[in-house]
Amino acid sequence: MKIAGKTISPAWISAVLLFIAYLFSTGRALLISCSTGDHSMFSDGRIIRVAHWQLEPGYREGLQWAIDQYNQLPRVREAGITVEQIPVTERVYPQFLNVHLIAGTAPDIAVAAGSFTGGADAARFFAALGEFVNSPNPYNDPATLAAAIGEESGIALDLDGSLSNTPWRSTFADNLETGFNSQLNDYYAIPVSTWGAVRIFYNLELLATGKRFALEAAQSESEPQWLRQLWQTPENPASGFLLRNQANLSWLENFRQPPETLGQLILFCEALQAYAAASGQSTLVPISGSNYVSSDMTIIYRTPFLSGFHEDSVFFTGTGLNSLEIIDAFSRGIWNFEKPAVREYFKLGQQLSSYYPTGFLGLDREQALRRFVLGQAAIMAAGGWDASSVYAGVRSRDNPADQFEVAVRKYPLPAPGERWSEYLNARTNEATASGGVSFSIYKQTKSLDWTLDFLKFLTAQPINRRFNAEAGWLPVTSGAEPVEHMKPFVPMMEGIPEGWSLRPRYVTGALSFAWTQNLKRFFSGKSNYDEMAQAISDEFLHELRGVFGLWQSEFQRARDRSRARDRFTSIERLRVLRTGDEAAIDRELSLMEATLTSDEGVDLRNAWSRLYPDTPFLKPPVAK
């Protein structure tokens, strides 16, 4: 190769390129090493690293805004403190954190995830925050915050001062329940956002298209078969979904109005499906379903349908349902697949999943989102955490003509008299959709004071409001008003507790597999109801792997939990003996209370003795 008249060997070019790459990577490694190490080549500064996996559009930018504000505080600059975020993809985040926790190099602040978040591991790796959360957050005091950030920051400091003297714990919308570890009876995390509940997104362009098509069909002299079968009539009382009345016909005329009832939702889905077939758009579907739980609309309706067996199934009055109670109740005939509520739930699920794309079980969260954003689905169910992705995705369509308006609504319930109205007469409580992105403080951090200070800053009312507005999330601090487009995602604290529903979780592998796989096969049309019911029943009642096996494994787990509680109790008692630590006394009392009522699985043995008085514990009951 000739350059400027001189012949240069390609080998030398390779060597030069290699050397440049080397210099770059060495320089970068050196910079990182110097800035995060104990000794700094360039400044006396200390870096507080904040790790999380929220890579949704806007979240990093929102958090960075708050970090920049904090880094600019005069007292922070004087102390040479710099906060940095480390966003890590969700797929590798648990491994990333596990490795660094074990190696002693974990970020100062991190969303706890992976293997070391429960039980003793939480206490081993993360700082207990109980002693800090009962005093007020100084940044909630208008004078303190104004003095700290100065007027030039441009942050609206419309703090009314009502939180000035409120304990930090009580300034969270969920009273900091998200950060509370009931096993350790202490606070181990500080949420900085609210997850937001699952809501239904509508593409208003496709909504209008589908409704126009349905209206034309309804006004034609001879209604097409797809429409006729939807109306509840005296001849069709069991299989119709809604009445052919003025209210429903008027609704069809308002093209931009999303479904108000479950019957209207089904009517719209059928109309769009018929429209897609008529116009040859094979990729257009009514609902963008996938294997991602939040996008499965069937699940939204599960609790109201399947919570009616709760009172008869629990072993102890007034508790939620656990998996053993659910499957044991099945073995005792309290519920089965012949019960109308169960059968009807699966019928609704089958109906809704027939509007999902073919092969939806092979699609993931991203694919569901993409389909909706590309205008290939009219409806998508998603949580508040995905809202910014939806809005950003729609806005970023290259061709402005492809952009569309989005409406967000709660899931519709049937109107009185509509099909399933006798089962769906209340919503599900969404309390679990509260505090999100809960940051824990690494126990070995060298800057506990500053990490706490940063979290207090981040959760001060005006900062939390602005940060979440920038991120496109819901704030977590009481009184912090969410931005307009996020208001529909505020969780409803009214409704049936999710824990009353038939939802076997954390069961042995065989039972879990039997439940989830057979449900998936049914909803994807690969098996019929009877086949699904038979397959699940066979497994639930299997001599070894079934309910009897579950009693054994739950008993073993109860004993393991007792051992774990013994460890916690010993350490808390040691703390009490050494220092008389008040918080440790509270934790020990709480552990003792839990130990007493369930120690060594005594509660399970007690339940067994009442359910099967003639059968020794863990001997298979004789079939009656």
Which residues within the stretch 539-578 sit at the binding site for another protein (CB under 8 A)? 559, 562-563, 566-568, 570-571, 573-575, 577-578
* Contact residue for another protein among 79, 243, 341, 415 (CB under 8 A): 415
> Whose CA is closest to 324, among 461, 508, 525?
508
Span from 45-53, 73-81, 395-403, 413-421 in contact with another protein (CB under 8 A): 413-421
Q: With binding defined as CB under 8 A, does residue 503 bind another protein?
A: no
Count of residues engaged in binding another protein, rule: CB under 8 A: 89
Rounded to 5 degrees, φ, ψ at 85 are -100, 150
Burial class (CB in 10 A: 0-12, 13-18, 19+), 68: exposed
Angle (CA) 130 65 117, round 5°:
35
Which residues within the stretch 241-300 sit at the binding site for another protein (CB under 8 A)? 260-261
Query: Least distance in Å: CB of 20 to another protein?
Result: 11
47, β-bridge pairs:
82
Residue 136 or 304 having the CB closest to another protein: 304
Query: Least distance in Å: CB of 460 to another protein?
Result: 21
Residue type, 114: G
Span from 12-20, 82-90, 368-376, 521-529 in contact with another protein (CB under 8 A): 12-20
Residue 119 or 224 having the CB closest to another protein: 119
Q: With binding defined as CB under 8 A, does residue 182 bind another protein?
A: yes
Residue 6 or 563 having the CB closest to another protein: 563
* Contact residue for another protein among 47, 208, 535, 592 (CB under 8 A): 592
* Contact residue for another protein among 170, 341, 606, 611 (CB under 8 A): 606
* Contact residue for another protein among 497, 512, 542, 557 (CB under 8 A): 497
Residue 234 or 613 having the CB closest to another protein: 613
Assign 118 to helix, strand or coil. Answer: coil
Q: Which residues contact 367 (CB under 8 A, 6 or more apart)?
A: 290
Q: With binding defined as CB under 8 A, does residue 11 bind another protein?
A: yes
Assign 86 to helix, strand or coil. Answer: strand
Assign 488 to helix, strand or coil. Answer: helix
Query: Least distance in Å: CB of 584 to another protein?
Result: 10
* Contact residue for another protein among 174, 386, 453, 470 (CB under 8 A): 174
Query: Least distance in Å: CB of 530 to another protein?
Result: 33
Q: With binding defined as CB under 8 A, does residue 481 bind another protein?
A: no
The Cα 171–Cα 447 span in angstroms is 24
The Cα 597–Cα 591 span in angstroms is 10
* Contact residue for another protein among 250, 358, 609, 615 (CB under 8 A): 609
Q: Are 360 and 289 in contact (CB under 8 A)?
A: yes
* Contact residue for another protein among 95, 105, 279, 319 (CB under 8 A): 319
The Cα 434–Cα 455 span in angstroms is 18
Residue 54 or 428 having the CB closest to another protein: 428
Residue 281 or 425 having the CB closest to another protein: 425
* Contact residue for another protein among 605, 611, 620, 621 (CB under 8 A): 605
Query: Least distance in Å: CB of 13 to another protein?
Result: 10
Q: Are 301 and 523 in contact (CB under 8 A)?
A: no
Q: Which residues contact 460 (CB under 8 A, 6 or more apart)?
A: 137, 139, 140, 145, 477
Q: With binding defined as CB under 8 A, does residue 615 bind another protein?
A: no
Strands, E assignment, 273-367 = 285-287
Query: Least distance in Å: CB of 241 to another protein?
Result: 14
Residue 541 or 585 having the CB closest to another protein: 585
Residue with token string 């870096």: 47
Which residues within the stretch 36-55 sit at the binding site for another protein (CB under 8 A)? 37-39, 41
Which residues within the stretch 517-536 sit at the binding site for another protein (CB under 8 A)? none
Q: With binding defined as CB under 8 A, does residue 223 bind another protein?
A: no
Q: Are 588 and 572 in contact (CB under 8 A)?
A: yes
Q: With binding defined as CB under 8 A, does residue 24 bind another protein?
A: no
Residue 535 or 585 having the CB closest to another protein: 585
Which residues within the stretch 325-384 sit at the binding site for another protein (CB under 8 A)? none
Which residues within the stretch 102-141 sit at the binding site for another protein (CB under 8 A)? 120-121, 123-124
Assign 31 to helix, strand or coil. Answer: helix
Residue 186 or 470 having the CB closest to another protein: 186
Q: Long-range contacts made by residues 574-579, C-beta under 8 angstroms, separation at least 24?
A: none
Residue 353 or 590 having the CB closest to another protein: 590
Q: With binding defined as CB under 8 A, does residue 600 bind another protein?
A: yes
Assign 64 to helix, strand or coil. Answer: helix
Report the side by side order of strands in the sheet with 435-441: 81-87, 46-52, 109-111, 435-441, 190-194
The contact pattern for another protein, residues 431-450, with x = CB under 8 A and - = no contact, is xx-x--------x-------
Span from 279-287, 529-537, 546-554, 592-600 in contact with another protein (CB under 8 A): 592-600
Q: Provide the H-helix boundaries in 37-141.
A: 59-71, 74-78, 93-103, 119-125, 130-133
The Cα 496–Cα 300 span in angstroms is 12
Residue type, 314: V
Query: Least distance in Å: CB of 511 to another protein?
Result: 24
Q: With binding defined as CB under 8 A, does residue 162 bind another protein?
A: no
Question: Phi/psi class of residue 71: alpha, beta or left (left: φ > 0; alpha: ψ in -120 to 50)?
Answer: alpha
> Whose CA is closest to 466, among 63, 57, 189, 55?
63
* Contact residue for another protein among 8, 15, 92, 293 (CB under 8 A): 15
3-class SS shares of the chain: helix, strand, coil, % to 5: 50, 10, 40
Tally the C-alpha atoms within 13 A of residue 16's C-alpha that lie toward its C-beta.
6
The Cα 42–Cα 80 span in angstroms is 12
